[in-house]
Amino acid sequence: MRQEGKMLKLFRQKNFSIFWFGETISIIGDQISLIAFPWLVLQMTDSAALTGLVFAVQGIPRAFLMLAGGALVDRTSPKFVMLASNLIRMILVLSLAYLISIDSIEIPTVFIMAFAFGVADAFFYPASTSILPSLVSRKELQSGNAIIQMTLHLGMTVGPVLAAVIIAGEVSSVTSQQGVDGSVTGSFENDKIGLSRAFYVDAMTFALSFLSLLLVKVRPLDESDDSDESISMISEVKQAVNWVSSIPAVKLGFIGMAVIHFFFMPMIFVGIPVWAKQNFVEGAYVFGMVTAAYGLGAFLGAISAGYLKGPDDKNLIPYMFWAYVFSGSTLALIVFYKAYWWAMLLFFIAGGFDTYFYVHFTTWLQRITPESLLGRVMSVLMLMSMGLLPVADGIMGFAIDFSLNLTMVLSALFLMIFCSLVALNPRARITTQKS
């Protein structure tokens, strides 16, 4: 059966369609929040350092608790963990929206909300990445992952555009001013209404996702394990880490993800909003559109991954990291030519490459991972991808305050060198366990 036929077949499954609908709504809301949150902090403080620091506060509990979240998923079910996490995050976002609307928001409150959100994220992410094998068969995993990634990046396209309209509208172009030093400044007072609305929309999407997930039926995964039922959670996590370390290509892929996210993700959510604010009157709009361009490219990359077979196992990691070389270069290229359409083009291409290979990487990982370890292995992946973000956001925030251009160029150079070394490493082609 052709791949597109397999993808359409999944949508004819009522259970998968309900899950997909809930996730689509939630993802769009998340992307709105990802634009609104850094813009809120940046407008309140005019500080990249504090913008990065608030992300660090959110990431600290996520990093420390994510492995425990994976173990909890394996002990209970990904559906239960996702339901609880969505409910908690809905309450938090709704509270944030209300405080902004009544003009009672303060930076310490934002930090507290960020910390609590990070706790919920620590349990949600490993659950969301491990639930698919309980919804579809192993033969349908590639199609399912392609659809999920398509949905994720469709949200990354639609969400930022909606955020730009909700937050900025026509306000930023009218009320923003040129400062006496030539810098571009904006009015937080005028953005408050839009920011509040953005968080209210996000809360509504959490509610819809929660209700949809209630209707989803999941099959039990293989719980066979040669370990004692009373085994400690620490030992359970150690089992997953040992399994990841036993396959050189998996180990290199996980380490590479950690480094990429350390240097690349802070540039998107701290660097790009500062870049937009410094160079364009319509700062929130430009930030949203550049992010949307990455999402559109990623959406098309996910579609391609669903149609195309992709590299064989031994070439997957090398090819994926060659693609990340280009992604890293975008950070420097937008510095040397400051035009938002140029940034949109570069991030569009980067998004396509990144997602195409990530779909195949995730499918391969889900295929070779023992089902009894799936939640924990996925939590290790999430930890390696996002665990260092608290440190990265803090460091990069202060570095950006010192010099945005220098920070972006040096980050780009390091990523290009590192990803090239991973791609050229012979161990990146070893896809079987060590003897």
128-160 tens-digit pLDDT: 777 887 887 777 777 787 787 777 767 767 777
C-alpha distances out from residue 193 to 8, 30, 207, Å: 41, 19, 22
Could you give the CA distance from residue 196 to residue 166 in angstroms, rounded to a whole number?
Answer: 9
Evaluate whether residue 417 is within a structural domain. yes
Tokens of residue 32, six digits: 């709105």
Evaluate whether residue 435 is within a structural domain. no
Evaluate whether residue 434 is within a structural domain. no
C-alpha distances out from residue 209 to 27, 162, 350, 413, Å: 9, 18, 29, 40
- For residue 369, give the DSSP letter: S
Low-confidence stretches of the chain (pLDDT < 70) are: 1-7, 67, 153, 156, 168-191, 220-234, 282, 386-387, 390, 434-435
C-alpha distances out from residue 404 to 143, 231, 276, 277, 391, Å: 40, 48, 11, 12, 18
Supply the DSSP string of 280-339, one letter for each residue. Answer: -SSHHHHHHHHHHHHHHHHHHHHHHHHHS----HHHHHHHHHHHHHHHHHHHHHHHHS--
Is-contact 350 297, C-beta < 8 A?
yes
Tokens of residue 13, six digits: 């499954």
Evaluate whether residue 152 is within a structural domain. yes
* pLDDT number for residue 182: 42
Could you give the CA distance from residue 335 to residue 344 in angstroms, rounded to a whole number?
Answer: 13
Evaluate whether residue 163 is within a structural domain. yes
Tokens of residue 330, six digits: 């975008």
* pLDDT number for residue 168: 66
Evaluate whether residue 225 is within a structural domain. no
Could you give the CA distance from residue 306 to residue 310 in angstroms, rounded to a whole number?
Answer: 9
Q: Which of 204, 209, 183, 245 is nearest to 94 (CA)?
A: 204
Evaluate whether residue 323 is within a structural domain. yes
Total number of domains constituting the chain: 1
Supply the DSSP string of 15-43, one letter for each residue. Answer: HHHHHHHHHHHHHHHHHHHHHHHHHHHHH
Q: What CATH number is attached to the domain comprising 154?
A: 1.20.1250.20
* pLDDT number for residue 189: 59
Evaluate whether residue 222 is within a structural domain. no
Could you give the CA distance from residue 299 to residue 297 in angstroms, rounded to a whole number?
Answer: 5
* pLDDT number for residue 229: 45
Full domain range(s) for residue 344: 3-215+232-429
- Report the predicted TM-score, pTM, of the whole model to 2 decimal places: 0.64
Could you give the CA distance from residue 324 to residue 256 in angstroms, rounded to a whole number?
Answer: 10
